[in-house]
Amino acid sequence: MSLNVKIEKYRLQWQLYSNKAENDLIEKYGLIGCLWHDFRTHDLDWSLPGFRAIATYRFGTWARTISLRPARQAILIFHLYMFRLVRNRYGIELYLTSQIGRGVRFGHQNGIVIHRFARIGDRCLIRQGVTFGEGGLNKDNFADKIGPVVGNDVDIGAGAVLIGNVKIGDRVHIGPNAVVITDIPADATVFAPMSKIISRVRPAENNHAPIPCVLHLERELS
User: With 60 as the cut, is the pLDDT of residue 69 above it?
Assistant: yes
The predicted-structure confidence for 23-49, as pLDDT tens digits, reads as follows 899 999 999 999 999 999 999 999 999
Amino acid at 17: Y
Asked whether the CA dihedral 76, 106, 48, 111 is positive or negative, the reply is: negative
Query: pLDDT value at position 218?
Result: 47
> Residue 151 in contact with residue 133, Cβ under 8 Å?
no
The CATH number of residue 169's host domain is 2.160.10.10
With both helix axes pointing from N to C terminus, report the angle between 69-90 and 49-63 in degrees, rounded to the nearest 10: 160
Residues 111 and 178 in one domain: yes
The predicted-structure confidence for 101-137, as pLDDT tens digits, reads as follows 999 999 888 999 999 999 999 999 999 999 998 755 4
| pLDDT-based confidence at residue 50 (cuts at 50, 70, 90) | very high
Residues 49 and 85 in one domain: yes
Q: Pick the last residue of a domain from 81, 96, 111.
A: 96
Range of the domain at 41: 1-96
- What does the buried/exposed string (b/e) look like for 130-154 if buried means 16 or more CB atoms within 10 Å of the residue's CB? bbbbbbbeeeeebeebbbbbbbbbb
Is 171 inside any structural domain?
Answer: yes
- The three-state secondary structure class of 68 is coil
State the total domains in the chain. 2
Query: pLDDT value at position 213?
Result: 47
Portion of the chain with pLDDT greater than 70, in percent: 83
Query: Other C-beta atoms within 10 Å of 201: how many?
Result: 9
Residues 84 and 123 in one domain: no
Residue closest to 13 by CA, chosen among 169, 143, 166: 143
Query: pLDDT value at position 181?
Result: 93
Residues 46 and 115 in one domain: no
Is 211 inside any structural domain?
Answer: no
Is 201 inside any structural domain?
Answer: no
Is 78 inside any structural domain?
Answer: yes
The average pLDDT across 90-99 equals 94
Query: pLDDT value at position 215?
Result: 45
The predicted-structure confidence for 149-173, as pLDDT tens digits, reads as follows 999 999 999 999 999 889 999 999 9
User: With 50 as the cut, is the pLDDT of residue 146 above it?
Assistant: yes
Query: pLDDT value at position 206?
Result: 53
Is 203 inside any structural domain?
Answer: no
